[in-house]
Amino acid sequence: MVITKENTIIGFIGTGLMGKSMAGHLLDAGYKLVVYNRTKEKSLELLDKGAVWVDSVLDLAKRCNLIITIIGTPKDVEEVYLGENGLMENAKQGSILVDMTTSSPKLAVKIYEEAKGKNLSALDAPVTGGDIGAKEARLTIMVGGDKETFDEILPIFGLMGKNIVYQGESGFGQHTKICNQIAMAVTLAGVCESLAYAKKSGVNPQNVIKVLETGTAGSNILKVHGHRMLTSDFAAGFYVKHLIKDLKIALVESKELGLDLEMLKHTITLYERLSERGEEYSGVQALFKLYVD
């Protein structure tokens, strides 16, 4: 179908740190929006803007023909999609299901295959860009599934992101997100160690950043999180607990591919140490605390 504001009711499940902003852009564009979240309070801003609340995934599935999810863990995704009262058993025929959670590639393929058997379409479309990218509608969106379905809802993705890349078959969006999380986490650990060295040596670390960010060591991680580290801004744009979840998915998948990723394993250990200190709801840049506290 050609998606229009007249023939589409969007269901959005997961109105947390990023989901709330993403759903808000759909409302602002004039789409009818139905929302569900385990904690209703996190949806109140959307309800004030005109979204409709439902009390369950089942109720949402029966009312909508395009359903977007961005929730917690693969276990949550499996329950929402494949549970008895989930989307797969209750979505309208012909509906499109889009999971934007960072989840398991194998689960994405399972959802895709189940959807095919029920006259539904499913895409895995995880995102990166954090809370700021979500607020500013400039997320990077990496998509796996049928190209025809991707093309169909590309205008919807365009309301939430700027860099939208079709990666190929089902599961490839999740595989790409794993690549992103490995590179991001390992780079972030390197930035922590670089700035910890700068502080210990007596060099002004802000001046170090000025040098590094324009050279071969420059990165968005350094530019954004480096400054946050030095100003003790550890507020979450992306939670430590969620990064640990993502990296453990990456570890499982890499082992199944026959890869031994030593830096990935060490970075998981660092973040687990940070979490054990009560920092699971801090931003990922709080890793710096292991080096300077």
Report whether pLDDT(237) > 90: no
Q: Write out the residue range of the structural domain in which residue 150 sits.
A: 9-170
Could you say which of 62, 75, 177, 289 is catalytic?
Answer: 177
Number of structural domains the chain divides into? 2
Give the pLDDT of residue 1.
67
Digit-coded pLDDT (tens) for 90-110: 999 999 999 999 999 999 999
Same domain? For 210 and 137 the reply is no
Give the pLDDT of residue 78.
97
Confidence of residue 215 (pLDDT cuts 50, 70, 90): very high
Bridge partners (DSSP) listed for residue 127: 141
The percent of residues above 90 in pLDDT, for the chain, comes to: 95
Digit-coded pLDDT (tens) for 106-131: 999 999 999 999 999 999 999 999 88
Q: Is residue 237 part of a domain?
A: yes
Give the pLDDT of residue 5.
93
The C-alpha angle with vertex 254 and arms to 248 and 258, in degrees rounded to 5, equals: 145
Name the domain boundary from 170, 188, 218: 170
Confidence of residue 179 (pLDDT cuts 50, 70, 90): very high
Confidence of residue 2 (pLDDT cuts 50, 70, 90): confident
Please, which residues have CB within 8 angstroms of residue 290's CB and are 6 or more apart in sequence?
Answer: 192, 270, 273, 274
Same domain? For 84 and 188 the reply is no
Q: Is residue 1 part of a domain?
A: no
This prediction's pTM: 0.94
CATH code: domain of residue 243: 1.10.1040.10
Give the pLDDT of residue 243.
96
Per-residue pLDDT, averaged over 256-271, amounts to 97
Same domain? For 205 and 138 the reply is no
Same domain? For 70 and 198 the reply is no
CATH code: domain of residue 48: 3.40.50.720
Name the domain boundary from 145, 170, 195: 170
Same domain? For 165 and 27 the reply is yes
Same domain? For 146 and 232 the reply is no
Decide which of 293 and 90 is more confident. Answer: 90
Same domain? For 65 and 161 the reply is yes
Q: Identify whether 255 is a catalytic site residue.
A: no
Same domain? For 165 and 226 the reply is no
The percent of residues above 70 in pLDDT, for the chain, comes to: 100
Report whether pLDDT(66) > 80: yes
Name the domain boundary from 120, 149, 170: 170
Same domain? For 139 and 191 the reply is no
Torsion angle in degrees (nearest 10) through CA of 252, 253, 256, 258:
-100
Q: For 42, phi and psi rounded to 5 degrees? A: -75, -10
User: By the 8 A CB rule, do 138 and 116 touch?
Assistant: no
Same domain? For 40 and 60 the reply is yes
Give the pLDDT of residue 76.
96
Measured distance CA(11)–CA(225) in Å, rounded: 33
